[in-house]
């Protein structure tokens, strides 16, 4: 018996990196892209914890190059200068305060770790970095880490330009420079140790895990090299022996030698096919229909559910960077976007991340504050999709139906579909060009339920469409195709 328990404990340690370390019944995280640490701390307390969000992916917290032409683009934060916690989101003291305050209300922090590279080769020399640390890209000198010319991959890359030229060649993709970014020699134990030191500093402060930026551009074994050096999570917030959650940015849309599955040993991977395909279906491109979503998930060629981090859009592909292409839905296509996020949060596949964006086109003034309007939306051009009623209520839906099976699928052979989550929740979409009128098996106990899309239950009152479930679980649904939001979702916590 003891031997068995020991074996199970050992297995638990090995597999821990797939577990998001969220509190029970908190099953989604939100990416608060470019938010300041002080604003995130407040958002954890005033909004995320009360609405059941499990955690926040934050922008890279380490020192980066300052780019003034164009003026302070979002992507300067993907060009590290050192591992000091010092960025336009705030300083180390503010970061620590955020982590402690969010953990205190049960909301976890996940750091976007940019460790494949330093800044671009054309960055020059000087102290134009967010903390004023000196660097010289010509000499590959980053004394604030310190890294020197020995710590970069130049000798390993065999393209004329030194950059990745052909994504069909996995050696180029991993050993050459990604768009001119100085490529760290992760095969060196010294480099792995400096990265682990940075990540351990964050773990000791209380973060719950990491997004590994540009994982596709690193060898899986090199990533393992620094992950193996990581501490267990801080026992002030997590139980003894808890491993950091790891999700790796591997853009695999098929057709390349590098695949997501090559990275499973290290943790989960970002499943980019998910948002690209869901956008294609909801836009009805390529002859796609929602009826085809019946076998959504592995049936669509995605990685196994317990290895997937999924999202409708991310900070790259919502503005045409990275992968996915034109089909990606964003807040700019709000009606379809809400349906896509609703579908994602209702469906059991993968661990879900909600995107929260800003609206200004490209440039970013230093540390723009998040303001909250009287109607709970955000000001200052922050979009705050996570505060949209439909999205926030579906985050709660996912928590309510946690662990329940995918059930009672229905479709009309076209773009009207519905499915349940056992006896806890049910959702129905009309993305056809005509109204939906159907009587369906919901799997829910008899009663009157309040739709959480068109409104919500407030006390004993429903501000929305009411759905009457009969003793046999059947309910009638009517959804016009011109509705603001042509979908309805009900769950047992929204029963009147």
Ligand X SMILES: *[C@@H]1O[C@H](CO)[C@@H](O)[C@H](O)[C@H]1NC(C)=O
- Let me know if 483 is a catalytic residue: no
Q: Does 412 bind ligand X (CB under 6 A)?
A: yes
Active-site residue (options: 43, 183, 213, 252): 213
Binding to ligand X by residue 93, rule CB under 6 A? no
Q: Which of 403, 397, 336 has the alpha carbon at shortest distance from 53?
A: 397
Among 433, 461, 468, 484, binds ligand X (CB under 6 A): 433
Tokens of 33: 């892209």
Contact segment (CB under 6 A) with ligand X among 263-271, 296-304, 432-440, 482-490 equals 432-440
Q: Which of 416, 431, 454, 456 binds ligand X (CB under 6 A)?
A: 416
The residue from 138, 168, 478, 480 that contacts ligand X (CB under 6 A) is: 478
Residue 437 in contact with ligand X, rule: CB under 6 A: yes
In the bound state with ligand X, the residue whose beta carbon lies nearer, of 100 and 438, is: 438
With CB under 6 A, what is the number of residues at the site for ligand X? 9
CB neighbours (10 Å) of residue 334? 16
| Residue 289 or 347 having the CB closest to ligand X | 289
Question: How many degrees, rounded to 5, is the angle at CA 223 between CA 218 and CA 227?
Answer: 160
At closest approach, how far in Å is the CB of 290 from ligand X? 11
According to CB under 6 A, which one of 323, 438, 440, 446 is a site residue for ligand X? 438
249 assigned to active site? yes
User: Which is the catalytic residue, given 43, 249, 313, 451?
Assistant: 249
28 vs 327, beta carbon nearer ligand X: 327
Tell me the window of 169-177, 219-227, 367-375, 410-418 that interacts with ligand X (CB under 6 A). 410-418
Q: Which is nearer to ligand X, 6 or 478 (CB)?
A: 478
Are 81 and 119 in contact, with CB atoms under 8 Å apart?
A: yes
Pairing label, strands 425-430, 487-491: antiparallel
Task: Identify which of residues 58 and 417 has a Cβ nearer to ligand X in the complex.
Answer: 417
d(CA 266, CA 306): 13
336 touching ligand X, by CB under 6 A: no
Rounded least distance, CB 404 to ligand X, Å: 25
Choices 52-60, 386-394, 411-419, 486-494 (CB under 6 A): range interacting with ligand X: 411-419
- Confirm or reject binding of residue 470 to ligand X (CB under 6 A): no
Q: Compute the least distance from the CB of residue 336 to ligand X, in Å.
A: 12
Residue 284 or 319: the one with the smaller Cβ distance to ligand X is 284
Residue closer to ligand X by CB (options 183, 432) is: 432
Query: Would you count residue 414 as binding ligand X (CB under 6 A)?
Result: yes
Cα 338 from Cα 391, distance rounded (Å)? 7
x/- letters, 358..397, toward ligand X (CB under 6 A): ----------------------------------------
Instruction: Decide if residue 431 touches ligand X (CB under 6 A).
Output: no
Q: How many CB atoms lie within 10 A of CB 122?
A: 8
Per-residue burial over 86-116, b = 16 or more CB atoms within 10 Å of its CB, e = otherwise:
bbbbbbeebbbbbbebbbeebbbbbbbbbbb
**Least Cβ distance, residue 344 to ligand X (angstroms):** 23
Q: How far apart are the first and last CA of the chain?
A: 48
436 binds ligand X (CB under 6 A): yes
Measured from each CB, the residue nearest to ligand X is: 412
Is 163 a binding residue for ligand X by CB under 6 A? The answer is no
Rank residues 99 and 479 by Cβ distance to ligand X and give the closer one: 479
Q: What is the closest distance, in whole angstroms, from the C-beta atom of residue 335 to ligand X in the complex?
A: 13
State which of residues 160, 287, 361, 413 lies at the interface with ligand X (CB under 6 A).
Answer: 413
Closest contact distance (angstroms) between CB of 429 and ligand X is: 12
Looking at the Cβ atoms of 258 and 428, the one nearer to ligand X is 428
Annotated active-site positions, please? Answer: 213, 249
Which residues form the interface with ligand X (CB under 6 A)?
412-414, 416, 433, 436-438, 478
């Amino acid at each position: 018996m003891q031997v068995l328990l020991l074996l199970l404990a050992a297995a638990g340690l090995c597999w821990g990196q797939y577990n998001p370390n969220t509190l029970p019944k908190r099953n989604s995280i939100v990416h608060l892209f470019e938010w300041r640490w002080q604003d995130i701390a407040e958002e954890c307390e005033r909004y995320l914890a009360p609405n059941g969000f499990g955690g926040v992916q934050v922008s890279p917290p380490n020192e980066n190059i300052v780019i003034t032409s164009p003026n302070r683009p979002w992507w300067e934060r993907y060009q590290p200068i050192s591992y000091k916690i010092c960025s336009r989101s705030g300083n180390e003291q503010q970061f620590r305060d955020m982590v402690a305050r969010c953990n205190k209300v049960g909301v976890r922090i996940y750091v976007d770790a940019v460790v494949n590279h330093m800044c671009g080769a054309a960055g020059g020399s000087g102290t134009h970095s967010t903390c004023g640390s000196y660097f010289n890209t010509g000499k590959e000198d980053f004394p604030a880490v310190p890294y020197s010319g020995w710590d970069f991959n130049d000798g390993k890359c065999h393209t004329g330009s030194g950059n990745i030229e052909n994504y069909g060649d996995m050696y180029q993709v991993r050993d050459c420079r990604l768009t001119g970014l100085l490529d760290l020699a992760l095969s060196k134990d010294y480099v792995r140790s400096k990265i682990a030191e940075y990540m351990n500093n964050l773990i000791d402060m209380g973060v719950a895990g990491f997004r590994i930026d540009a994982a596709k551009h690193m060898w899986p074994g090199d990533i393992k090299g620094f992950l193996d050096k990581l501490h267990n999570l801080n026992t002030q917030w997590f139980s003894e022996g808890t491993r950091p959650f790891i999700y790796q940015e591997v853009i695999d849309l098929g057709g390349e030698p590098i695949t997501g599955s090559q990275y499973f040993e290290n943790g989960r991977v970002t499943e980019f096919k998910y948002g690209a395909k869901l956008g294609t279906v909801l836009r009805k491109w390529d002859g796609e229909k929602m009826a085809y979503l019946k076998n959504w998930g592995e049936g669509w060629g995605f990685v196994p559910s317990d290895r997937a981090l999924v999202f409708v859009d991310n900070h790259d592909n919502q503005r045409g960077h990275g992968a996915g292409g034109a089909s990606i839905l964003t807040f700019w296509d709000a009606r379809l976007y809400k349906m896509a996020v609703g579908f994602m949060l209702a469906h059991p596949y993968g661990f879900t991340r909600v995107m929260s964006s800003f609206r200004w086109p490209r440039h970013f003034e230093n540390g723009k504050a998040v303001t909250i309007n009287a109607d709970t939306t955000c000001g200052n051009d922050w979009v705050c999709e996570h505060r949209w009623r439909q999205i926030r209520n579906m985050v709660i839906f996912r928590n309510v139906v946690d662990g329940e099976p995918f059930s009672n699928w229905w479709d009309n052979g076209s773009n009207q579909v519905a499915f349940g989550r056992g006896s806890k929740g049910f959702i129905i979409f009309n993305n056809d060009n005509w109204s939906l009128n159907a009587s369906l098996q919901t799997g829910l106990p008899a009663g009157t339920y309040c739709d959480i899309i068109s409104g919500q239950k407030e006390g004993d009152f429903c501000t929305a469409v009411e759905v009457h479930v009969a003793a046999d679980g059947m309910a009638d649904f009517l959804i016009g195709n011109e509705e603001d939001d042509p979908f309805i979702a009900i769950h047992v916590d929204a029963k009147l």
